[in-house]
Amino acid sequence: MVLPSKEHLEWADIEVGVIIHMDVQTFEPSYDFRKQRGYQPPAEVFAPMELDTDQWIKTAKSAGAGYAVLVAKHCSGFSLWPTEEHDYSIKKSPWKNGEGDIVGDFIKSCKKYNVKPGLYYSASCNAYFNVDNPGKVLDNNDVKVQEKYNNMVLAQLTELWSNYGNIFEIWFDGGCLPVDRGGPDIESLLHKLQPDALVFQGPFGTKSLLRWVGNERGIAPEDCFATVDFTPESFDGHDERIYGGNPFGLTWSPAESDLPNRFAKQAFQGGWFWREGEDHTLIPVDHLFDVYLKSIGRNTNMLIGMVINDKGLVPDADMQIFKSFGKKVANSFGKPLIELTQTEIINQSDKYNYTLTLPQDINAKYLVIMEDISKGELILEYAVNDFIKGKCIGHKKIIELPTNTTEITFKVLDSKKEPCLRSIAIY
């Protein structure tokens, strides 16, 4: 039986996270590295003079987020910490006269507000070194040039993974190019320096893998199992996500459902980065809540994009959306109308058939079912009131109920072995 790590269990219970983007294009929005090969905005344009990582993390907390991933180095190559590897970094910024460290401030704020810290580092794309997916130096067949880039990547990752304490989640966008295909030996370094981190699109063999859900809309498949048939050949993220997973897969790698907080087709760079005058592209609260139902409610975590403006702050309009979203989730799922706890479920003689009856004049909106995934994902098929059917429960399944539902019957139709449910609740 394939089981999650203890870090997987903690991650699943947190449910909501944010991913934070700020780069040189925040200050020079005309910059497009794929159309301007060989040109980099000067590092001095990066000037977030009112930057406040406490404000970022307080905003994340207001949305209900329990972890935050900072994009420490995106595709431009500009580094948000004072790396020793090159000068295209925060060292050249007028902010704090080049003495600042955004990664360090972010980690401190996470600790201050009890939010788990994560770091994103793109090894596969770096315009400053003329590198693009899948981590190859372009227009150059010189092995030594590629080796120099690989060594720089390992040195930067050593800085990030050695100088800031334990990292809860490490994010690789597009995976890691394996050594046998010319990439740096990230796997060995990861297992040495951050062995307990959850790793999004990480190398095969990593203890606590996470996979991409397959889109940037935050929507998971209706049935989305945590287990997959992940192989060493899946470095590009294709095989590891196989959309709904495989209930009999040999690797525990649950999906993380990410989306920007601005509509991708209307906003700057897919909605991940801030540009002035785009408040109208913000995803409204009701839409975010629908994504919540279709991500967390489908056995994945929800990772929401958070833009930082040229002042170094989460914009006011974004702050209000995050806060209102957090309140809506809390109001909807704060206290169940009725619940069968794990103890009550265990003590029930029929462990495949459960009935919950609501008091009169109380209308149910959602049925929430949770497996005890520390024992694995065991349920393979279920039915609710005989007409709603599905396959995967996993950490959490949220089912919207028809109006005027007063009684719920939940049946396990097929399972690997006797199911182990954590709770069944109506909201």
Burial of 20 (0-12, 13-18, 19+ CB in 10 A): buried
Q: At what angle do helices 186-193 and 143-162 cross, to 10 degrees?
A: 10
Separation between Cα atoms, residue 405 and residue 396, nearest integer Å: 21
Q: Which whole number is the average pLDDT over 175-202? A: 93
Rounded to the nearest 5 degrees, what angle is found at the Cα of 181, between the Cα atoms of 195 and 85?
60
Tens of pLDDT, residue by residue over 202-217, are: 887 889 999 999 899 9
Tens of pLDDT, residue by residue over 323-379, are: 999 999 999 999 999 999 999 998 888 889 999 998 888 888 999 999 999 999 999
The segment with the largest mean pLDDT, out of 34-38, 236-240, 421-425, is 421-425
Q: Which whole number is the average pLDDT over 173-197? A: 92
Torsion sign (Cα): 205, 156, 218, 422:
positive
* Structure confidence at residue 140 (pLDDT): 84
Report whether pLDDT(240) > 80: no
- Beta-bridged to residue 305, according to DSSP, are 19
How many CB atoms are located within 10 Å of the residue 42 CB? 11
Residue 47 structure tokens: 């000037």
Per DSSP, 207 falls in state: S
Q: Which whole number is the average pLDDT over 256-265? A: 97
CA 398 to chain centre: 19
Report, in angstroms and rounded to the nearest whole number, the Rg of the chain calculated over CA atoms: 22
* Structure confidence at residue 405 (pLDDT): 86
Report whether pLDDT(32) > 90: yes
Q: Which whole number is the average pLDDT over 186-204? A: 94
Report whether pLDDT(55) > 80: yes
* Structure confidence at residue 262 (pLDDT): 98
Report whether pLDDT(149) > 70: yes
Report whether pLDDT(238) > 90: no
User: Strands 301-307 and 407-415, how do they pair?
Assistant: unpaired
* Structure confidence at residue 229 (pLDDT): 82
Chain mean pLDDT for the chain: 94
Q: Which whole number is the average pLDDT over 37-60? A: 97
How many CB atoms are located within 10 Å of the residue 164 CB? 19
* Structure confidence at residue 134 (pLDDT): 87
Q: Which whole number is the average pLDDT over 210-235? A: 85
Domains (ranges, CATH) in the chain? 6-333 (3.20.20.80), 338-426 (2.60.120.260)
Q: Which whole number is the average pLDDT over 259-278? A: 97
Separation between Cα atoms, residue 378 and residue 4, nearest integer Å: 13
- pTM for the model stands at 0.96
Q: Give the model's confidence band at 231: pLDDT under 50 very low, under 70 low, under 90 confident, else very high.
A: low
Separation between Cα atoms, residue 293 and residue 282, nearest integer Å: 19
Report whether pLDDT(234) > 60: no
Length of the chain as a residue count: 427
